[in-house]
Structure formats: C-alpha cells, structure tokens
Structure 1
Amino acid sequence: MNATPAPEASGTDAPHGPLAVEQAVVPRQHTGPYDPLPTPGPAAPAGHAAPSSGAPEDHLDDPDPRRAADLAATENLLRCWVRERNLPAPASATLRVPLDASGTALQVPVIHWSLTGWHRFGAPALEGLPATAPPVDAVTVAALLGRETGRSEGTELVGRVADSVLRTAEFITARRRRPNPGPESDLFLTAEQSLLLGHPLHPTPKSREGLSETETHRYSPELHGSFPLHWAAVDRAVLVTDSAWTEQGRPVSAEQLSTGLAEGLAIPPGTVPLPLHPWQARELLHRPAVASLLDAGLLHDLGAHGAPWHPTSSVRTVHRPGSRAMLKLSLGVRITNSRRENLRKELHRGVEVHRLLRTGLVDQWQAAHPGFDIVRDPAWLAVDTQDGAPVPGLDVMIRHNPFGAADDAVCVAALTAPRPWPGATRMRSRLADLVTRLAARTGRPTAAVSAEWFLRYLDQVVRPVLWLDGTAGVALEAHQQNTLVLLSPEGWPIGGRYRDNQGYYFRESRREELEKRLPGIGGVSDTFVSDRVTDERFAYYLGINNVLGLIGAFGAQGLADERVLLAGFRQFLGSATALGSPLPHRLLEAATLRCKANLLTRVHGLDELVGPVDTQSVYVTITNPLRS
C-alpha cells in the first residue's frame, strides 16, 4: 500500500497556518496544539556563531574535491572528539585540543559552535608551527587522536579514515559533474542515494573495506550504482524460511516471493532461488561451509539474472522502482563499524515484529497516529549446513516496499545531508532547500518556517515512536538513517516510517504483556533487553542522534537558532510525558546523557552487530543540552 500523502490542513502555506511562528525569536500568537516557542534568554555561549544570511564560503565547496572531502573528514573527527571528551565551548573563536601523548595541541578555527554537537570547524594547525605551515589533514588528525586514546587499534582508524576520504572525494567529484544524473522519477530512491558525506559524527562514514574501484562504482548509492542480483538455487533439504507476508488476506511464502522475483530463471528440480549481492556471492565461494554445499549438490551457483536493482543508503539493502519488495542482503564489507551480514536472530525479529503489530497493536497505534508505521520485514530465506547449523551470509530478508514513485519519503540523514544541486555553486541540504522554498512561498522568515517545520516533525514522527514505547514497551532504534519522514508536496512533514529489523528493544519489564499479545515472543529473536539498557539506547538513538541531530543541522546550516528549537523540544517533551514512555522525563530531567561514541567504538575495534547489545558499542557521558 503506497504511502499516499494525507490531505494537508487548510492554511498551511498561509502566514497564519496552524503551527505558524512569525519569528524564531519573537513568536506570533499561536492557535495550534503547541504553545508559542519562547524567546531565548541571554546571548549564546562563547564561540557560538549565530545564523546569518551572509554566510562565508564553505570549505565543502572547495574546487578540489579531495580538499573538500579531507576537511569534511577532519570536521567529523573533531566533532567526535569534542563530544566524546565532553569539551566545553571555547572562550574564543579558536578551539584548543590538547594532544598530551604527542606533546602538542591542535588549534582549530571555530566557524559555528553547536549546542547539540554539529559544530563547524576550519582547517586545524599544530600548535607552535609557523603560520605558513600547511594545515593538518584528516589522516594526521586521526593518527594524533588515536594516539591520545592509548590503544594500538588507533592505527586501524588511520587506514579507514584515508579510505573514507578517498571515497568521499570520488562521490563529490561525480555528483558535481552530474548533480542530477537521471530523471528523478522515484523520490525515495533519489533521497536514498544523496548521502555523500555520511554521518556527521562518525570518524569513517564512507569507509568500505573490500570494494575495488570498479565495485565501488557499481555498488555505491552515492554514484547511482545498479546491478542485477546474483542467484543461487538451494535444495529444500537445507533451506530455512519464514513468512508472515500476506496479499489480499492470503499468506504468501518466502519461497513464492523469491520465485516471483526470479521470474524467467531456470532452476534445478527440488530447489528454491535465493538472491544474493554479487560481491557476497563471490566471497561466499571461499567459505568451507558453502563449498561443502556446492560439492554435495545442495547449492547451485546460477549467476547474474534479471533487471538491475539499486543500492539504498545502507549499501546492502536494494530497491527496484515498482517492485513490491525491497531486499536486505548480506554483505560482508565492513561499512562504518560492522560487517553487514544478517544474523539469524535478526531475520526472526523482522517477522516477529510484523506478527506483533498484526495482533491489533498497529490498529491501535494508527488510530492515534495514522501517518506513522513501520516498514515491515515479514519474510526471509536462509541456508543451513547438512548438520543444521546456520550458514552465515547466505540469506536474504524480504522487505515490504510501501513507497510509490510519487511518495516523498526521505530518511532524516538524507534530508540534512549537504550535496551539490543542479545549477547551484554551493552544496546544500534538502532540508535547507525545502525550508527556503517554504519561506519564499509563504513570505515568512526562514527561522519561523524552520521552527514550524520542526514542531510538525516532532508531532508526526517523534510522538508516534514515544507512543509505541509507552503503550507496548517496544523502543525503536530510530536514528536518522532508520527514520523516514513523509513530506507533503509543499515540503511539510505529514507522517513517518521506521525501518530496520535489527533495531528493536522489547522492555524486560513489559515481557508479560508482550507475551499475552504474541505467545513465545523473543524466544528466538533475542529482542528483550533490560530497561536500563533500553533507556540508554532509546535516549541516544531518538533523543540525541535523531532530534538533537536535526536541531544541529538547522543551526549549522544557518536556518534557525538552536536555542529556539531546543526550547520547542522541551515544550514538546513536556506534553509527551503523558504517553507513558520514560524517555521524555529522562531527556527533560537528566543533567547528563549516555551517548554512543563512534570514534572510540572504532578505535576499540568493535563490530556493533556482534555480542550482547549492552557491550556492542562504547558509550560516554555528555552534558544534556536540554538542561545546560
């Protein structure tokens, strides 16, 4: 079912719309579900650069793509370091980063100091060197910061930063040449392929170990890659599947779904077609368990077949416009922190959540929040050995494709990502573009439109996620790449979707009532998590990464004053305490928050898909900007 935009409330483009705010700092009289945003108090902290219309040239627009990519990577490393060391705002326009292990320091120009962590920095210099010395590049910054951690794995960080910089430079080069390489007939795919720089608080957002230059062009969403799937035929004796997929009320097996996607492919009798990522298919041939199945005639390599599929922002999930399904494939490439191969418990989890929602929970949820839903993962296929053990990496999750070509569904990470646009000389984000257009259309200040857009986002996207936690005890790992906002034709938030069969936390304290909803829940999916860990992760993913990250994007891109949006977020959280989730109280009352430390996680060499959920990543304590 397509995510057809709901009719927009009358007056949303008029100066007196239902959530209208005349100015970011002096709100108008307001008649919507929220009180007016309060006027901020004293001046911003030292080092804070307020938004201005005459913004200086941005180093992301450097004519040399390699320099632009290197400075973007340097900013990422410094943002991570500032957050993970909980460094305060500097007293001047220069941030001093001590490097005690190397007996020196970095002197970093501060372009914009963000209350929520999305700082903008200029090229750093080593303290004590002449002013004519060249700035310190990203690889050197990575080596210096890695040394400060005192861990030998810091050398691995250097290699991944270099890899990420090279790939980012390639992406910028290609997109500058062809900002719009084809007709934007599928809005979802256009958004999914727009994340050129990646996570602004990750040290190696575009590192992809294992891909050759040719493979990078073929498999990268940033380069508009596409490819036919590689197919294997699996003997039913070693095939494992599950499906809760239905069409017109009738169940559809995973075997039927896969066979339909393999239309025209000849397969041996007694087998079922299994789609694979081409890179993964080549890699699997070297694994003993796979070789044994091939030798026994239980697995057959059929090669490439069918029309091209397109990689989405996760690289391994592929999309084909018009198809009823997307496919989440295993891909053993290390992307950011992890090798992206499906775990069997995650395959079970996707189907289990679909069944849980169908117990009546989704009807109850959408009665309260009709614009929000979960993108379902209701079927999968995998392979066991002859002894019944799972064969890692030989599997596929079959995901609903709820988006039609005209549905403007964009993940928040893509919405805030700077990128070149046709006819423009500077990189800017989709968020900046739509807010600017709304301001021009309504004749209102950009800051006022930004505030209204943000309040609508909280209501349409964040409130439903809090409802699910409060009502059912299910917290979503709703970071910016997993959270999609549905936009009206004018660009206002009108709904949302969550995606990711990995990212569910069933609260241990709610086990009994979840068992009543779906007997046996969590038995094989390993989804129940202690409330302590759930609270920590929920606060990070939804609170810090998603909402505070969005506030940071508004501020860093000169669209709004972060203090105003923080005040709006506090106001929203006050109204959301009635939903029953503990998160609003936590965000409002805690002086500090636990925050994922992407740089330290990388330096410690952790794979976030391996091991118990409470030890997969490094977490640090940061000051809560909602209280500071």
Structure 2
Amino acid sequence: MSPPCPARAAEDQPPAPQPTGERAPVADPGATVPRQKDGTARPRTFAAEGGGALPDPLDHPDPAAAAEAAAVENLLRCWVRETGLGRPAGPVLRIPLRASGTALLVPVRYWSPAGWHRFAQARLEGAPAGAPAVDAVTLAALISREGPRTATAPGAPGAHAAPGEHGGSDLVGRVADSVHRTAEFIADRRRRPTAPATVALDRFLSAEQSLLLGHPLHPTPKSREELSAAEVRRYSPELHGSFPLHWMAVAPSALATDSAWTERGRPIPAAQLLGRLAPGLPLPAGTTPLPLHPWQARDLLQRPAVAALLDAGLLHDLGPYGEPWYPTSSIRTAHRPGAPAMLKLSLGLRITNSRRENLRKELHRGVEVHRLLRTGLAEQWQASHPGFDIVRDPAWLAVDAPDGSPVPGLDVLLRHNPFRSGDDALCIAALTAPRPWPGRTAMRSRLAETVSRLAAATGRTTAAVSAEWFLRYLDHVVLPVLAFDALAGIALEAHQQNTLVLLDPAGWPVGGRYRDNQGYYFRDSHRAELERRLPGIGSTSDTFVPDAVTDERFAYYLGINNVLGLIGAFGSQRLADERVLLAAFRRFLGKAADLGPLPAQLLDSPTLRCKANLLTRLGGLDELVGPVDTQSVYVTITNPLHD
C-alpha cells in the first residue's frame, strides 16, 4: 500500500501536485484545455457538433434540471449503444420510435468512440416550435413501448428478454425515482461540497461517497424506490449517510459460518471478529452476534421464516447498537474508519439491476478465493505486479433454518479493510464521476481535477498529461488483471466500481485493488490446475464457467466498462482525444498478447459482446438470479479498437 498522505479537510481534493519521474513524458497529442489562474480548467461549454458553444446542462443552477439532463443523457447513451445506432452525418441524431410512429431529434454535443456521448435536449420530430423538450420519464415511456425486440444490433436479445408490462412500467417508475434522488444528491452536495470531518479524514471513504450521478450507461443508476425520504438521507453514501448496525444473536444450532481470517498466523473465527466490532454488546449466553443493515432488519422481521426463528429462540433481536458505520458506493457495504473489516451486508433493495442479498455460494466464494491466493498464487502473481492485490473476503456468518437450508438475507461477509486514512484509493467510477467541488460552480470529476493540476504543475498540456496518466493506469491496474487470468485462469469482473486505483501524492497511478466476492470467473479449461492448488475448489461456490462465457464477460467488464469507459471519460470531459488513447490501448494490448485470450480478442474482433443495462431492465431480469450466462442481456457492438 502506498504511504499515508496528509489528511485534507476538503472532500478527496487532490493535494498539491509533485513531479514524478516514473515514466518518460509522452508526446503531446493535442491542445490543452483552457485553464484559469489557479491552473484548473475553466467551466465547461460544449460546442454541439455543427453548432455554437453551449453551457453544460449538468451545471444548471437548478439541481432538478441538472438531474433531468443527466437522466436523459443516460437513457440516450444506453439506447444508442444497445440498438446499434451509429454516428449521424450531421449535428443532429435521429432516433426512430417505430412503435409510437415518430422519432426523436437529439443535437449531439460530443460523439464518443467509446460510448460516453454528450447530448443536448431531445425533441419529438415535427413538434411545434416552442414545444418542451422530452423529459426523462417521457423518454423512458417511449423507449418502453419500443421494447427489446426493436434492438437492431447484431446479436440483439432473444425471447428470454421480451418485456412484459412490468418491465416497461418498472423502468418508467424507476427512472422517475432516480431523477428525483439525483436532484437531491446534487442539491445537497452544492450546499455541502466539503465532507463531514469523519469522512474527509478518510480518503477512501470520501471517494466512495462521491458518485452523485452513477453509471453513465445505466437507465436508473440512483433509483431507491423502497426507501422513504428519511431513509434515503440516512443510508445514502451521496448524502454522507451513517447509521449504527442492527444486531441479532444466533443460537449455535442455527449458525452457519466459515473463516480463513488469520492474525499472526492464528485463525480468527468470524464471531470473534464481529465481537470486536461491537464491544459491550449484550449477548444471550452461547449465542453469536450478527450485524444487519437497519433497513434489512426491519424487512426481515416481516418474513415468516425469520419470525419462526425468533419464536423458537434460535434468533434474538438485540436492536441497534454501537458507533456509526458509513455506506460505500455499493450502498450495502459498510465502512468505519480504522476498523479492521468492512461489512458486506444483505440489503433487499433493488439497486441498479438486482436485489442485493448475499447468496450463500458467494459467501463461500470469497473465502475460497482467499484460500486459493494463500496457496502461493498471490506471491507468484505479485512478484511481477507488487502494486496490485485483491481485497480479501475471508470470513462470513449466516443463519440456517432447522432443516439446514440457508435463510436468505440473514448474513454478513467480513472484508479486509486494507486502507489507511491517508491512502488515496478510489474506484474508477468515483474517479470519473462529475460532482461539485468547494469553490467551484461547475461539476467536475476527480479525473479532471487531477489532470488539470498535473498540467499546471508540469507546464505540459492537459492532453499530454492525460495520455501519460492513462498509460500508467494500464501498466499498474489493467496489466495485473490480465496477468492474473494468464497465470491462474481466473477472470476478474473488473468493472469501474469493483476496480480501485491507488494514486501517489501527485495524482499518478501507482497501484490498484480489485474488490468483489461475486465477480470471479474460474475458467473450465483451468479446472484441473486450480483443483491441484486447492482441492474441492468450486464445489460450493459454483464459480467455474465455460471459457466462451468467461471471454465474453471479461471483455465487457475489463475492456468495455473499465478501460473504454475511462477513455470515454477523458474524451467527453475534454481532457484528451479518444483516438489517441485508443491507439495507446491498442499498443498496450499488442505488448500484452501473451497474457491470456483477452488482448487478441479486443484487438482482432470487429465486434464485441456488451452488457445492455437498459434492455436488461426492460426484460425484468435480476442479475443475481439464474445461470451466469443468462442473468443479463448482452448485445453485439462495434469494437472501437478494431482497425
């Protein structure tokens, strides 16, 4: 881990940049973004392709208008990608709506080869002059009428994704809720751009609570329909929420647990770890503590299976207890600065495309991966990539019914907390997410702030700094993930929220971390080798996947979501020319050709399979239910890396 950096009062604002000599400067690939006297970029205006400069709608003084604009752009980006619409010949994109007998006309502010397009307000074709623009809810309703079967991209979803009434109405309602929540988050962050002291002093937590807009290619990134207004404020990382955990006590006959957690070579049971996190918690004799998310605890008490356990004395409701915990970007994983563990809690809310309750096989998977890495695999891997590691999930505790079956939602996963307060570690989604900053009127991302400060400190152009930053990211974060697949036959679901980058005091990438007990793909072709390393591997975790499915998912999560998403952020935020970064990525993949099948797949295939979040939502699919190869809708898109 990188050495601690001085704590800051302002929310994860980059420290004063310092020169670094790790990589020789790259040639300047373009002109710099205009900067103000303090060296930061001026508030953004976008020139609609073929038109004049326009203010960025995300900077609108009305938070509701900014949230509306963000939601419309998300829906349009999703529909463009998932239906195979190409770049228009002129400055306006025409989107046919055949089921409604009309079309949308959308001025293009910026067309991104990687998919992070920027659009102006959409209007219905033929609408009279002065007619209002199409809002997000109306756009969602229009898209819902079209349905997944209108997707024209090769390999569009088949019958399994056909929407029912639930899919369309569900999308409209969740879009409305997401817009409302986003407006609340923007308004609050503009009022309070500096985080509370406890959050500001922990740079990892500060970054985790900075994703105001969410996934730029998801239709409902901030929907939380089941939460009341008071619960949104209490449980949302975007509002710096915090809460004490709700505790239960589990009788020995109902307890299910496993732990590979060690300290100084000694195994530590999950129950002992949990006891340390709530000193003084009054427990009935012989029972084990179990922490729950407060919302989950209230919901569980309404379930007959849980009521039966309480009536039988196998479960005891102890209520809220202890110091506050803070939600991270996933909402359900709780962090407390200085605690040795983070807690991945079950939470039956619909967040993005799934209800987020832990599956028993996923709890087994986290411990299994930790044990696998301790067979010598981690040392072998990190001999060449010492700056990258997997955040371990080595212990869990759950509840079984009297018949031995798991009780859904009554569980907790204990995750290592490797981050000290000064470690500048943030997931890529937090790096690229626009938000207000102290003393700023415009929405800016941490990426834009970092690049601008480095440019000002070095006297180089923003484009040149962006290119060097990107190259270092490939070396320190992407290369180790490819190497792990080549070494072990394990692909990581390394999307932007699961992948963290470690920055040095100047803001350059120096390492990375992967986190997620769910997102491992053990290749069937490596089953025998992995079985030799850890006998019985995969028997309870259900982690082995056919190589063809692994290749598809790895290409999406690491190639499209992570790296192309980062390239799209550089381009759409006017930090660099995407074509230059795509060329750099191609050169990198060429040099990494011996690290598994992914580099050749990304370089040679004219098309790629891509997860379709909008069509998945229209299809009413829960990504945690069913076989891994049918949990989401995938479509075929043009590969921007292919010559």
* TM bracket (short chain): over 0.9
Identify the match of residue 616 of structure 1 among 619, 628, 631.
631
- Per the TM alignment, residue 56 of structure 1 is displaced from its structure 2 partner at its CA by 4.0
Q: State how far apart, in whole Å, the 1-side matches of 2:546 and 2:415 are.
A: 28
**SS of equivalent residue, structure 2 residue 348:** strand
Identify the match of residue 207 of structure 1 among 202, 223, 230.
223
Paired letter, 2:129? A
CA deviation vs aligned residue, 1:484-528 (integer Å, no higher than 9, x gap): 000000000000000000000000000000000100000000000
Identify the match of residue 21 of structure 1 among 15, 22, 26.
26
- Per the TM alignment, residue 155 of structure 1 is displaced from its structure 2 partner at its CA by 1.6
Cross-structure match for 2:510: 494
Q: Which runs of 4+ in 1 moved over 6 A?
A: none
Paired letter, 1:571? R
Conservation of the 8 A alpha-carbon contact between 2:4 and 2:420: no
- Per the TM alignment, residue 259 of structure 1 is displaced from its structure 2 partner at its CA by 1.2
Cross-structure match for 2:154: none
CA deviation vs aligned residue, 1:131-174 (integer Å, no higher than 9, x gap): 21010000000000111116332121000000100000000010
Identify the match of residue 557 of structure 1 among 569, 573, 584.
573
Q: State how far apart, in whole Å, the 2-side matches of 1:131 and 1:59 are.
A: 21
Conservation of the 8 A alpha-carbon contact between 1:189 and 1:312: yes
**SS of equivalent residue, structure 1 residue 496:** strand
Conservation of the 8 A alpha-carbon contact between 1:5 and 1:486: no
Cross-structure match for 1:41: none
Residue 357 in structure 1 maps to residue 355 in structure 2: no
Q: State how far apart, in whole Å, the 1-side matches of 2:291 and 2:339 are.
A: 15
Paired letter, 1:168? T
Cross-structure match for 1:544: 560
Residue 589 in structure 1 maps to residue 599 in structure 2: no
Residue 386 in structure 1 maps to residue 385 in structure 2: no
CA deviation vs aligned residue, 1:333-359 (integer Å, no higher than 9, x gap): 001110000000000000000000000
CA deviation vs aligned residue, 1:227-258 (integer Å, no higher than 9, x gap): 00000000011100000000111110111111
Cross-structure match for 2:195: 181
Cross-structure match for 1:169: 183
Paired letter, 2:613? N
Q: State how far apart, in whole Å, the 2-side matches of 1:48 and 1:534 are.
A: 39
Cross-structure match for 1:40: none
Q: State how far apart, in whole Å, the 1-side matches of 2:23 and 2:469 are.
A: 11
**SS of equivalent residue, structure 1 residue 237:** helix
**SS of equivalent residue, structure 1 residue 578:** coil
Cross-structure match for 1:4: 3
Paired letter, 1:140? T
Q: State how far apart, in whole Å, the 2-side matches of 1:26 and 1:141 are.
A: 37
- Per the TM alignment, residue 3 of structure 1 is displaced from its structure 2 partner at its CA by 4.8
Q: State how far apart, in whole Å, the 2-side matches of 1:74 and 1:316 are.
A: 27
Cross-structure match for 1:267: 283
- Per the TM alignment, residue 283 of structure 1 is displaced from its structure 2 partner at its CA by 0.3
Distance 1:585 1:355, change over 3 A: same
Conservation of the 8 A alpha-carbon contact between 1:208 and 1:333: yes
CA deviation vs aligned residue, 1:150-206 (integer Å, no higher than 9, x gap): 633212100000010000000001001011132321100010000000000000000
Identify the match of residue 525 of structure 1 among 533, 541, 554.
541
Conservation of the 8 A alpha-carbon contact between 2:219 and 2:614: yes
Paired letter, 1:169? A
Cross-structure match for 2:57: 59
Identify the match of residue 86 of structure 2 among 80, 85, 88.
88
Q: Give TM-score, length-normalised by structure 1.
A: 0.94
- Per the TM alignment, residue 578 of structure 1 is displaced from its structure 2 partner at its CA by 2.0
What runs of 5+ residues in structure 1 fail to find an aligned partner? 7-11, 28-46
Q: State how far apart, in whole Å, the 1-side matches of 2:452 and 2:305 are.
A: 55
CA deviation vs aligned residue, 1:54-97 (integer Å, no higher than 9, x gap): 97421001111111101100000000000001111001111000
- Per the TM alignment, residue 385 of structure 1 is displaced from its structure 2 partner at its CA by 0.5
Identify the match of residue 126 of structure 2 among 102, 125, 128.
128
Q: State how far apart, in whole Å, the 2-side matches of 1:168 and 1:372 are.
A: 33
Identify the match of residue 337 of structure 1 among 347, 353, 357.
353
Paired letter, 1:119? H
**SS of equivalent residue, structure 1 residue 233:** strand
Conservation of the 8 A alpha-carbon contact between 1:15 and 1:442: no
- Per the TM alignment, residue 475 of structure 1 is displaced from its structure 2 partner at its CA by 0.3
Conservation of the 8 A alpha-carbon contact between 2:4 and 2:422: no
- Per the TM alignment, residue 19 of structure 1 is displaced from its structure 2 partner at its CA by 3.5
Conservation of the 8 A alpha-carbon contact between 1:326 and 1:400: yes
**SS of equivalent residue, structure 2 residue 253:** coil
Cross-structure match for 1:285: 301
Distance 1:291 1:400, change over 3 A: same
- Per the TM alignment, residue 393 of structure 1 is displaced from its structure 2 partner at its CA by 0.2
Conservation of the 8 A alpha-carbon contact between 1:5 and 1:487: no
- Per the TM alignment, residue 15 of structure 1 is displaced from its structure 2 partner at its CA by 9.3
Identity %: 73
Q: State how far apart, in whole Å, the 1-side matches of 2:30 and 2:210 are.
A: 32
Greater shift, 12-21 or 584-593, is seen at 12-21
Distance 1:373 1:238, change over 3 A: same
Q: State how far apart, in whole Å, the 2-side matches of 1:272 and 1:533 are.
A: 40
**SS of equivalent residue, structure 1 residue 274:** strand
**SS of equivalent residue, structure 1 residue 273:** strand
Mapping of residues 71-470 of structure 1, within 5 Å: 71-149=69-147, 151=163, 152=165, 153-183=167-197, 184-470=200-486
Greater shift, 61-70 or 426-435, is seen at 61-70
Conservation of the 8 A alpha-carbon contact between 2:31 and 2:461: no
**SS of equivalent residue, structure 1 residue 190:** helix
Distance 1:92 1:106, change over 3 A: same
Q: State how far apart, in whole Å, the 2-side matches of 1:490 and 1:103 are.
A: 54
Greater shift, 223-232 or 173-182, is seen at 173-182
Q: State how far apart, in whole Å, the 2-side matches of 1:71 and 1:443 are.
A: 35
Q: State how far apart, in whole Å, the 2-side matches of 1:134 and 1:267 are.
A: 61
Conservation of the 8 A alpha-carbon contact between 1:15 and 1:443: no
Q: State how far apart, in whole Å, the 2-side matches of 1:469 and 1:542 are.
A: 12
Cross-structure match for 2:589: 573
Paired letter, 2:75? L
Q: State how far apart, in whole Å, the 2-side matches of 1:396 and 1:182 are.
A: 27
Distance 1:521 1:17, change over 3 A: closer
Q: Give TM-score, length-normalised by structure 2.
A: 0.91
- Per the TM alignment, residue 26 of structure 1 is displaced from its structure 2 partner at its CA by 10
- Per the TM alignment, residue 288 of structure 1 is displaced from its structure 2 partner at its CA by 1.1
> What is the alpha-carbon root mean square deviation over aligned residues?
1.8
- Per the TM alignment, residue 369 of structure 1 is displaced from its structure 2 partner at its CA by 0.2
Distance 1:55 1:310, change over 3 A: farther
CA deviation vs aligned residue, 1:405-442 (integer Å, no higher than 9, x gap): 00000000000000000000100000000000000000
**SS of equivalent residue, structure 1 residue 279:** helix
- In the alignment of these two chains, the number of paired residues is 600
CA deviation vs aligned residue, 1:280-306 (integer Å, no higher than 9, x gap): 000001111100000001100000000
Conservation of the 8 A alpha-carbon contact between 1:3 and 1:402: no
Q: State how far apart, in whole Å, the 2-side matches of 1:24 and 1:291 are.
A: 64
- Per the TM alignment, residue 572 of structure 1 is displaced from its structure 2 partner at its CA by 0.2
- Per the TM alignment, residue 446 of structure 1 is displaced from its structure 2 partner at its CA by 0.3
Paired letter, 1:138? A
